[in-house]
Amino acid sequence: MRWKAKIIVRLKEGLNDPEGRVIGKALKNLGYDVDELKVPKCFELVFESEEPEEDVEEMCKRLLANPLIHTYEYEIEPLGE
């Protein structure tokens, strides 16, 4: 069966997010009152699987997220074909 997954990978709380800091500072320079900005990674994929949740967990653990510095969450939905 074909599935669509959306995976969000974020740095763990308290870790330095240099990209978020630079973007947040730029927004402040443009006049926006931004206290904090974080930049998560979002992956959207379509794949074939008999065990979609197990496969997405494995993808996250093996490649998409480093468990020492990242947290992740995902949504999976079947593709109606």
Domain that holds residue 63: 2-78
* CATH number, domain containing residue 6: 3.30.1280.10
For the chain, strand residue ranges (E) read 2-11, 41-48, 70-78
Question: pLDDT tens-digit profile of 8-36?
Answer: 999 999 999 999 999 999 999 999 999 99
Question: pLDDT tens-digit profile of 31-81?
Answer: 999 999 999 999 999 999 999 999 999 999 999 999 999 999 999 999 976
pLDDT for res 80: 76
The total number of structural domains that make up the chain:
1
Q: How far is CA 56 from the centre of its chain?
A: 12
